[in-house]
Amino acid sequence: MSTAQRPILFVSLPESGLLNPLLVLAGELARRGVPDLWFATDEPRRADVQRLAAASAVEFASLGEVFSELSAVSWTDEVYREVTQSSRFKAHRAVIRQSYRPDLQAEKYRRLETVADKCEPALMVIDCVAGYAVDLAIARGIPYVLSVPFLPSNVLTSHSPFGPSYTPKGFPVPHSGLPFPMSPAQRLTNRLFKLRTLALFLNPAMGKVLSEDARIRKELGLPSPSPMTRIDRAEMVLCNSVPELDYRFDIPAKVKLLGAMVPPLPKADRAEDDGGVLDWLDAQSSVVYMGFGTITRLTREQVAALVEVARRLEGRHQVLWKLPVEQQHLLPPREELPGNLRIEGWVPSQLDVLAHPKVEVFFTHGGGNGFHEGVYFGKPLVVRPLWVDCFDQAVRGRDFGISLTLDRPQEVDPADVVDKLTRVLGDPSFRRNAERIGEAQRAAGGRTAAADLLLGLPALAATPA
């Protein structure tokens, strides 16, 4: 006879790109009837967690309201422009300056402490950006698993020229959008990117933030951070990618490449699809799907340019555009929209759309989830990179023959977009490559393999009564 295992505590920031893979994994465990599942995130995601209840429940643990300074969705327009500017290093620097807030991280840490006191987890499963949760797990000696919705090199490559790294010397630094191997000029750019990142932390203004961080960490009894600590101390790293989507390097054994974390499909019930999106897809012959994630903020000029893209595709392809309701006021009058364009503020399931056989190409911002999910379903891509990791995914997609990238992502030139879409749609090699890598992703096991790996960890082994 054995005692019941203690809880598994999932922890994530509220951003969809970080949260969604963990929702899928927690939902898989709930369907299996695994008991004592807890999920800690910010209050606005309560309903998303509560919907996971199946053969067992998932207890929602609130970490309070979203701190706007830490949430990309709620950043000011000025900050948004800074983090999405054309200079990749300046955008990278802007993200660090905006998100490195020791005081706010400490507040989330304290709230998570209360949750941990209540549920006493045997294991934590943490999104790789939730540094406060990693700190708590290490401070309390709680075994933890890291969730990575990016390419494996994103968390295994140091941003410092002198820091430890699991990738070889000269590997492209994350957020640089550089290829591998590189030309001499690109190698210099890569080196400078790391040196400039190091210099950023030597700046007097950043020095004050570092001092504040050191003070808070001492107050909380936390050790000084190290670039690879979150990887080194993790029991396991679950990465939602496959080797075929990153440049080749030796991946540590604890890093498990599982492909996109996709729930059972169809996710949407057609009876609840009030807009009839899925029925509409059934009736088409060829559809271009445009979806740019939850962070992208288009201007009136960019919206007009994308409407013109649809107009130029009329007679050849239908266009389904997921455009948030709050941005739809930027559209021209309805009577001026081309007849092949369908605009939805919400689709019942983006995964069901990507899985649909009539969808021929995915026009995306190239975020970690969308990039991997598109290829999971064998769809070639056209990428308008938004920021940081999007450029890294875009260059790999191009090099592996599954996508093309806009020449000037900050602008939306209809001629450039139509050219890229036409080339991807007209060259069958893009689809063949996407289908081949999609098959590799499905074979990697996704949510089922991740659940099996979690449940096999020693931390969850039942102990004798």
Residue 245 has pLDDT above 70, yes or no: yes
Cα-Cα-Cα-Cα torsion 75, 81, 86, 87, nearest 10 degrees, comes to: -70
Q: Alpha helix (H) ranges present in 314-410?
A: 350-355, 368-376, 389-399
Tokens 């054995």 belong to 2
Residue 317 has pLDDT above 90, yes or no: yes
pLDDT band at 271 (very low <50, low <70, confident <90, very high): low
pLDDT in tens, 426-454: 999 999 999 999 999 999 999 999 999 99
**pTM > 0.85:** yes
**Mean pLDDT in residue range 98-109:** 95
pLDDT in tens, 448-462: 999 999 999 999 985
Residue 139 has pLDDT above 90, yes or no: yes
Count of other CB atoms within 10 angstroms of residue 160: 14
Residue 61 and residue 247: Cα distance in Å, rounded? Answer: 38
Residue 110 and residue 144: Cα distance in Å, rounded? Answer: 18
pLDDT in tens, 36-52: 999 999 999 999 999 99
**Domains in the chain, CATH or no CATH each:** 8-262+445-459 (3.40.50.2000), 270-443 (3.40.50.2000)
Three-state DSSP state, 89: helix
What was the pLDDT predicted at 28?
98
What was the pLDDT predicted at 431?
98
What was the pLDDT predicted at 462?
59
**Mean pLDDT in residue range 281-309:** 96
Q: What's the distance, CA 345 to chain centroid?
A: 21
Count of other CB atoms within 10 angstroms of residue 199: 12
Nearest to 47 by CA among 36, 58, 35, 56: 58
What was the pLDDT predicted at 236?
98
What was the pLDDT predicted at 329?
97
* Residue percentage of the chain with pLDDT more than 70: 97
Q: Tokens for 49? A: 């967690």
pLDDT band at 2 (very low <50, low <70, confident <90, very high): very low
Q: Tokens for 193? A: 């990117």
Task: Give phi and psi for 151, each to the nearest 5.
Answer: -65, 150
Nearest to 75 by CA among 295, 336, 283, 362: 295
pLDDT in tens, 185-242: 999 999 999 999 999 999 999 999 999 999 999 999 998 888 899 999 999 999 999 9
Residue 274 has pLDDT above 80, yes or no: no
pLDDT in tens, 157-194: 999 888 899 999 999 999 999 999 999 999 999 999 99
Residue 4 has pLDDT above 60, yes or no: no
What was the pLDDT predicted at 267?
82
Nearest to 409 by CA among 351, 365, 444, 355: 365
8-11 and 236-239 beta bridge pairing: unpaired
Q: In this predicted structure, which of 63-72, 135-144, 353-362 has the lowest mean pLDDT? A: 63-72
Q: 38 CB contacts (<8 Å, ≥6 apart)?
A: 7, 8, 9, 10, 58, 59, 61, 115, 119, 121
